[in-house]
Amino acid sequence: MKKSNTWFWLFLAPVLFALFAVVLLPLIYGIYYSFTDWNGITSSQFVGLKNYMNVFQTDSFMNALWFTVKFAVLSVISTNVIGLGLALIVTQKFKGNNFLRTVFFMPNLIGGLILGFIWQFIYIKAFAAVGNMLDVASLKTWLATPGTGFWGLVILMSWQYSGYIMVIYIAYLENVDRELIEAAEIDGANIWQRFIHITLPMIAPAFTVNLFLTLSNSFKLYDQNLSLTAGGPYNSTQMLAMDIYNTAFSSNQMALAQAKAVIFFAIVAAISLTQVYFSKKREVEL
Protein backbone atom coordinates (compact mmCIF):
# COMPACT_ATOMS: atom_id res chain seq x y z
CA MET A 1 0.00 0.00 0.00
CA LYS A 2 2.74 2.36 0.99
CA LYS A 3 4.70 1.64 -2.16
CA SER A 4 1.84 2.50 -4.46
CA ASN A 5 1.43 5.74 -2.57
CA THR A 6 4.94 6.87 -3.54
CA TRP A 7 4.22 5.96 -7.14
CA PHE A 8 0.99 7.88 -6.94
CA TRP A 9 2.74 11.09 -5.94
CA LEU A 10 5.62 10.48 -8.29
CA PHE A 11 3.30 10.28 -11.26
CA LEU A 12 1.37 13.25 -10.10
CA ALA A 13 4.44 15.39 -9.49
CA PRO A 14 4.98 16.74 -13.04
CA VAL A 15 1.35 17.79 -13.29
CA LEU A 16 1.33 19.34 -9.85
CA PHE A 17 4.52 21.17 -10.63
CA ALA A 18 3.13 22.47 -13.92
CA LEU A 19 -0.10 23.53 -12.24
CA PHE A 20 1.84 25.35 -9.56
CA ALA A 21 4.14 27.07 -12.03
CA VAL A 22 1.61 28.19 -14.60
CA VAL A 23 -1.57 28.65 -12.56
CA LEU A 24 -0.94 29.16 -8.86
CA LEU A 25 2.25 31.17 -9.01
CA PRO A 26 0.93 33.73 -11.54
CA LEU A 27 -2.25 34.02 -9.51
CA ILE A 28 -0.32 34.86 -6.34
CA TYR A 29 1.91 37.27 -8.28
CA GLY A 30 -1.16 38.88 -9.83
CA ILE A 31 -2.84 39.45 -6.49
CA TYR A 32 0.37 40.91 -5.13
CA TYR A 33 0.75 43.30 -8.09
CA SER A 34 -2.83 44.51 -7.73
CA PHE A 35 -1.79 46.21 -4.48
CA THR A 36 1.14 48.06 -6.03
CA ASP A 37 1.63 50.75 -8.65
CA TRP A 38 3.15 48.30 -11.12
CA ASN A 39 3.30 49.63 -14.70
CA GLY A 40 4.42 46.45 -16.38
CA ILE A 41 8.07 47.37 -16.24
CA THR A 42 8.79 48.24 -12.62
CA SER A 43 6.73 48.43 -9.46
CA SER A 44 7.96 50.94 -6.96
CA GLN A 45 5.54 51.03 -4.05
CA PHE A 46 2.67 49.46 -2.22
CA VAL A 47 -0.55 51.45 -2.63
CA GLY A 48 -2.99 49.39 -0.61
CA LEU A 49 -6.57 49.26 -1.85
CA LYS A 50 -6.31 52.31 -4.12
CA ASN A 51 -6.53 50.25 -7.32
CA TYR A 52 -9.64 48.45 -6.10
CA MET A 53 -11.36 51.74 -5.26
CA ASN A 54 -10.50 53.07 -8.73
CA VAL A 55 -11.99 50.02 -10.41
CA PHE A 56 -15.48 50.87 -9.20
CA GLN A 57 -15.10 54.51 -10.14
CA THR A 58 -14.29 53.84 -13.80
CA ASP A 59 -17.30 53.67 -16.07
CA SER A 60 -15.65 51.32 -18.50
CA PHE A 61 -15.45 48.47 -15.98
CA MET A 62 -19.04 48.84 -14.81
CA ASN A 63 -20.29 49.06 -18.42
CA ALA A 64 -18.30 46.01 -19.38
CA LEU A 65 -19.57 44.14 -16.31
CA TRP A 66 -23.20 44.94 -17.12
CA PHE A 67 -22.70 44.05 -20.78
CA THR A 68 -21.06 40.75 -19.84
CA VAL A 69 -23.84 39.82 -17.42
CA LYS A 70 -26.53 40.52 -20.04
CA PHE A 71 -24.55 38.59 -22.59
CA ALA A 72 -23.93 35.64 -20.26
CA VAL A 73 -27.59 35.29 -19.27
CA LEU A 74 -28.86 35.36 -22.84
CA SER A 75 -26.19 33.16 -24.32
CA VAL A 76 -26.43 30.57 -21.53
CA ILE A 77 -30.16 30.27 -22.16
CA SER A 78 -29.94 30.19 -25.93
CA THR A 79 -26.95 27.85 -26.07
CA ASN A 80 -28.56 25.34 -23.74
CA VAL A 81 -31.99 25.49 -25.36
CA ILE A 82 -30.54 25.04 -28.82
CA GLY A 83 -28.07 22.40 -27.63
CA LEU A 84 -30.76 20.35 -25.90
CA GLY A 85 -33.05 20.75 -28.92
CA LEU A 86 -30.37 19.49 -31.27
CA ALA A 87 -29.60 16.60 -28.90
CA LEU A 88 -33.26 15.59 -28.83
CA ILE A 89 -33.41 15.66 -32.63
CA VAL A 90 -30.31 13.55 -33.22
CA THR A 91 -31.22 10.95 -30.59
CA GLN A 92 -34.36 10.09 -32.54
CA LYS A 93 -34.10 7.04 -34.72
CA PHE A 94 -33.73 8.14 -38.34
CA LYS A 95 -31.22 7.87 -41.14
CA GLY A 96 -28.39 10.33 -41.08
CA ASN A 97 -28.51 11.23 -37.39
CA ASN A 98 -24.81 10.49 -37.06
CA PHE A 99 -24.09 12.78 -39.97
CA LEU A 100 -26.13 15.54 -38.34
CA ARG A 101 -24.24 15.12 -35.06
CA THR A 102 -21.00 15.74 -36.90
CA VAL A 103 -22.40 18.77 -38.69
CA PHE A 104 -23.78 20.34 -35.51
CA PHE A 105 -20.50 19.76 -33.68
CA MET A 106 -18.37 21.21 -36.45
CA PRO A 107 -18.51 24.96 -35.52
CA ASN A 108 -16.79 24.10 -32.27
CA LEU A 109 -13.74 22.88 -34.14
CA ILE A 110 -13.07 26.31 -35.63
CA GLY A 111 -11.01 28.68 -33.49
CA GLY A 112 -12.72 31.64 -31.87
CA LEU A 113 -10.74 34.31 -33.72
CA ILE A 114 -11.51 32.85 -37.12
CA LEU A 115 -15.17 32.37 -36.21
CA GLY A 116 -15.33 36.04 -35.26
CA PHE A 117 -13.99 37.10 -38.63
CA ILE A 118 -16.30 34.72 -40.50
CA TRP A 119 -19.32 36.10 -38.69
CA GLN A 120 -18.09 39.65 -39.16
CA PHE A 121 -18.16 38.97 -42.89
CA ILE A 122 -21.65 37.47 -42.63
CA TYR A 123 -23.06 40.35 -40.58
CA ILE A 124 -21.44 43.18 -42.49
CA LYS A 125 -21.23 41.90 -46.05
CA ALA A 126 -23.84 39.16 -46.39
CA PHE A 127 -26.52 40.84 -44.29
CA ALA A 128 -25.97 44.11 -46.14
CA ALA A 129 -26.22 42.35 -49.50
CA VAL A 130 -29.54 40.76 -48.49
CA GLY A 131 -30.62 44.10 -47.06
CA ASN A 132 -29.86 45.84 -50.35
CA MET A 133 -31.78 43.22 -52.32
CA LEU A 134 -34.88 43.34 -50.15
CA ASP A 135 -34.42 47.00 -49.24
CA VAL A 136 -34.46 46.37 -45.49
CA ALA A 137 -32.51 49.17 -43.79
CA SER A 138 -32.05 47.34 -40.50
CA LEU A 139 -29.99 44.61 -42.18
CA LYS A 140 -27.45 47.10 -43.51
CA THR A 141 -26.13 48.42 -40.22
CA TRP A 142 -25.17 45.22 -38.41
CA LEU A 143 -22.30 45.65 -35.95
CA ALA A 144 -22.47 49.43 -36.49
CA THR A 145 -24.85 49.89 -33.54
CA PRO A 146 -24.49 48.64 -29.95
CA GLY A 147 -27.67 46.54 -30.21
CA THR A 148 -26.62 44.62 -33.28
CA GLY A 149 -23.16 44.20 -31.84
CA PHE A 150 -24.69 42.58 -28.76
CA TRP A 151 -26.98 40.23 -30.68
CA GLY A 152 -24.19 39.46 -33.10
CA LEU A 153 -22.12 38.16 -30.19
CA VAL A 154 -25.01 36.15 -28.73
CA ILE A 155 -25.72 34.50 -32.09
CA LEU A 156 -22.04 33.73 -32.62
CA MET A 157 -21.72 32.21 -29.14
CA SER A 158 -24.86 30.08 -29.50
CA TRP A 159 -23.77 28.88 -32.91
CA GLN A 160 -20.33 27.91 -31.71
CA TYR A 161 -21.18 26.19 -28.42
CA SER A 162 -24.56 24.56 -29.12
CA GLY A 163 -22.92 21.62 -30.87
CA TYR A 164 -20.50 21.03 -28.03
CA ILE A 165 -23.25 21.25 -25.42
CA MET A 166 -25.33 18.92 -27.59
CA VAL A 167 -22.73 16.15 -27.32
CA ILE A 168 -22.94 16.22 -23.53
CA TYR A 169 -26.74 16.14 -23.61
CA ILE A 170 -26.64 13.22 -26.05
CA ALA A 171 -24.45 11.21 -23.67
CA TYR A 172 -26.98 11.65 -20.85
CA LEU A 173 -30.07 11.24 -23.04
CA GLU A 174 -28.86 7.86 -24.27
CA ASN A 175 -28.35 6.71 -20.69
CA VAL A 176 -31.96 7.36 -19.71
CA ASP A 177 -33.51 3.99 -18.88
CA ARG A 178 -36.00 2.98 -21.58
CA GLU A 179 -37.98 1.02 -18.96
CA LEU A 180 -38.83 4.17 -17.03
CA ILE A 181 -40.19 5.86 -20.13
CA GLU A 182 -42.16 2.77 -21.17
CA ALA A 183 -43.60 2.48 -17.67
CA ALA A 184 -44.72 6.10 -17.81
CA GLU A 185 -46.19 5.52 -21.25
CA ILE A 186 -48.25 2.61 -19.91
CA ASP A 187 -49.41 4.84 -17.06
CA GLY A 188 -50.80 7.18 -19.69
CA ALA A 189 -48.22 10.00 -19.69
CA ASN A 190 -48.08 11.84 -22.99
CA ILE A 191 -44.85 12.75 -24.77
CA TRP A 192 -44.55 16.16 -23.09
CA GLN A 193 -45.19 14.76 -19.60
CA ARG A 194 -42.65 12.01 -20.22
CA PHE A 195 -40.07 14.62 -21.20
CA ILE A 196 -40.72 16.93 -18.24
CA HIS A 197 -41.09 14.33 -15.51
CA ILE A 198 -38.81 11.52 -16.64
CA THR A 199 -36.19 12.70 -19.10
CA LEU A 200 -35.38 16.09 -17.60
CA PRO A 201 -34.71 14.88 -14.03
CA MET A 202 -32.69 11.99 -15.42
CA ILE A 203 -30.38 14.32 -17.34
CA ALA A 204 -30.02 16.86 -14.53
CA PRO A 205 -26.26 16.17 -14.20
CA ALA A 206 -25.91 17.28 -17.82
CA PHE A 207 -27.43 20.61 -16.86
CA THR A 208 -24.89 21.02 -14.09
CA VAL A 209 -22.02 20.45 -16.46
CA ASN A 210 -23.45 22.47 -19.34
CA LEU A 211 -24.53 25.46 -17.32
CA PHE A 212 -21.10 25.58 -15.77
CA LEU A 213 -19.35 25.36 -19.13
CA THR A 214 -21.52 27.93 -20.90
CA LEU A 215 -21.58 30.31 -17.96
CA SER A 216 -17.86 30.41 -17.40
CA ASN A 217 -17.17 30.48 -21.13
CA SER A 218 -19.44 33.43 -21.74
CA PHE A 219 -17.92 35.34 -18.85
CA LYS A 220 -14.40 34.72 -20.05
CA LEU A 221 -15.10 35.34 -23.73
CA TYR A 222 -12.33 37.32 -25.37
CA ASP A 223 -11.24 36.19 -28.84
CA GLN A 224 -14.70 36.20 -30.42
CA ASN A 225 -15.31 39.61 -28.90
CA LEU A 226 -12.01 40.89 -30.25
CA SER A 227 -12.40 39.67 -33.81
CA LEU A 228 -16.12 40.35 -34.21
CA THR A 229 -16.53 43.87 -32.82
CA ALA A 230 -13.27 44.73 -31.03
CA GLY A 231 -15.48 46.47 -28.48
CA GLY A 232 -16.94 48.87 -31.03
CA PRO A 233 -18.89 50.94 -31.72
CA TYR A 234 -17.61 53.33 -29.04
CA ASN A 235 -16.58 50.58 -26.59
CA SER A 236 -20.23 49.60 -26.14
CA THR A 237 -19.64 45.90 -26.79
CA GLN A 238 -16.57 45.61 -24.64
CA MET A 239 -16.67 42.60 -22.34
CA LEU A 240 -14.80 42.21 -19.06
CA ALA A 241 -11.81 40.34 -20.41
CA MET A 242 -11.33 42.92 -23.14
CA ASP A 243 -11.70 45.83 -20.75
CA ILE A 244 -8.99 44.31 -18.58
CA TYR A 245 -6.71 43.73 -21.56
CA ASN A 246 -7.20 47.30 -22.79
CA THR A 247 -6.58 48.80 -19.37
CA ALA A 248 -3.37 46.84 -19.12
CA PHE A 249 -1.94 47.16 -22.59
CA SER A 250 -3.43 50.21 -24.25
CA SER A 251 -3.81 52.49 -21.25
CA ASN A 252 -0.73 51.01 -19.65
CA GLN A 253 -2.35 50.88 -16.18
CA MET A 254 -1.09 47.42 -15.34
CA ALA A 255 -1.81 47.50 -11.63
CA LEU A 256 -5.37 48.77 -12.14
CA ALA A 257 -5.93 46.05 -14.71
CA GLN A 258 -4.55 43.50 -12.28
CA ALA A 259 -7.07 44.65 -9.66
CA LYS A 260 -9.86 44.34 -12.23
CA ALA A 261 -8.64 40.85 -13.07
CA VAL A 262 -8.73 39.81 -9.42
CA ILE A 263 -12.30 41.10 -9.11
CA PHE A 264 -13.17 39.35 -12.36
CA PHE A 265 -11.75 36.12 -11.01
CA ALA A 266 -13.78 36.46 -7.80
CA ILE A 267 -16.98 37.10 -9.76
CA VAL A 268 -16.54 34.15 -12.12
CA ALA A 269 -15.58 31.83 -9.26
CA ALA A 270 -18.52 32.93 -7.10
CA ILE A 271 -21.09 32.59 -9.86
CA SER A 272 -19.80 29.25 -11.08
CA LEU A 273 -19.62 27.74 -7.58
CA THR A 274 -23.14 28.85 -6.59
CA GLN A 275 -24.46 27.55 -9.88
CA VAL A 276 -22.80 24.15 -9.43
CA TYR A 277 -24.03 23.97 -5.84
CA PHE A 278 -27.66 24.61 -6.76
CA SER A 279 -27.64 22.42 -9.88
CA LYS A 280 -26.10 19.56 -7.90
CA LYS A 281 -28.97 19.70 -5.43
CA ARG A 282 -31.45 19.13 -8.22
CA GLU A 283 -29.83 15.96 -9.49
CA VAL A 284 -31.64 12.69 -8.82
CA GLU A 285 -29.80 9.64 -7.59
CA LEU A 286 -31.12 6.26 -8.53
Partner 1 sequence: MKKKWFVAMLSLFLIFALSACSSSGSGSSGGKVTVDVFQYKVEFKNQFAHLVSQYKKVHPNVTINVTTVGGGSDYGAALKSKFASGSEPAIYNIGGPQDLHDWKGKLADLSDTQAAKDALPGTLAGVTEGKVVYGLPYNEEGYGLLYNKDVFKKAGIDPASIKSSADLANVAAELDQKKAQLGIQAVFAFPVKEQWVTGLHSSNVFLSPEFGENVSNAYKSKTVSFKYGQQFKQYIDLQQKYSVQPTASMDYATQVEQLFSNGKVAMIQQGDWVSTTIQGIDKNFEKNNVGLLPIPIDGYKTDSIPVGVPMYWAVNSNKDANTIKAAKDFLDWMNTSSQGKSIVLNDFQFIPAYKGYDASKIQDSIAKEVYSYAQKKKTIGWIFMGYPTGWGMNTLGADIQQYTSGKMSWNALEKDAENAWKTNRGQ
Is the separation of the CB atoms in 48 and 35 below 8 Å? yes
Q: How many other C-beta atoms lie within 10 A of the C-beta of residue 18?
A: 10
Q: Pick from 81, 56, 54: which is nearest to 66 by CA?
A: 56
- Interaction of residue 18 with partner 1, rule CB under 8 A: yes
- Interaction of residue 232 with partner 1, rule CB under 8 A: yes
- Interaction of residue 196 with partner 1, rule CB under 8 A: no
- Interaction of residue 33 with partner 1, rule CB under 8 A: no
- Interaction of residue 176 with partner 1, rule CB under 8 A: no
- Interaction of residue 211 with partner 1, rule CB under 8 A: no
- Interaction of residue 272 with partner 1, rule CB under 8 A: no
- Helices 146-173 and 97-105, axial angle in degrees (round to 10): 140
- Interaction of residue 13 with partner 1, rule CB under 8 A: yes
Interacting residues with partner 1 between 97 and 126 (CB under 8 A): 124
- Interaction of residue 11 with partner 1, rule CB under 8 A: yes
Min separation Cβ 149 and partner 1, Å: 9
Task: Count CA atoms within 13 Å of residue 8 on its CB side.
Answer: 5
**Helix boundaries (H) for the chain:** 2-19, 25-33, 50-57, 59-90, 97-105, 112-121, 127-134, 146-173, 178-186, 191-194, 200-202, 204-220, 223-228, 240-249, 254-282
- Interaction of residue 234 with partner 1, rule CB under 8 A: yes
Q: Which of 30, 40, 185, 275 binds partner 1 (CB under 8 A)?
A: 40
Taking CB under 8 A as the binding criterion, the range among 5-13, 90-98, 106-114, 272-280 that sits at the site for partner 1 is 5-13
- Interaction of residue 145 with partner 1, rule CB under 8 A: yes
In the complex with partner 1, the residue whose CB is nearer, 63 or 216, is 63
**Exposed/middle/buried for 106, CB within 10 Å: 0-12, 13-18, 19+?**
exposed
- Interaction of residue 58 with partner 1, rule CB under 8 A: no
Min separation Cβ 179 and partner 1, Å: 39
Contacts of 45 (CB under 8 A, 6+ apart): 36, 37
Q: Pick from 178, 164, 172: which is nearest to 283 by CA?
A: 172
Which residues would be at the binding site for partner 1 (CB under 8 A)?
10-11, 13-14, 17-18, 21, 39-42, 124, 140-145, 230, 232-235, 246, 248-252
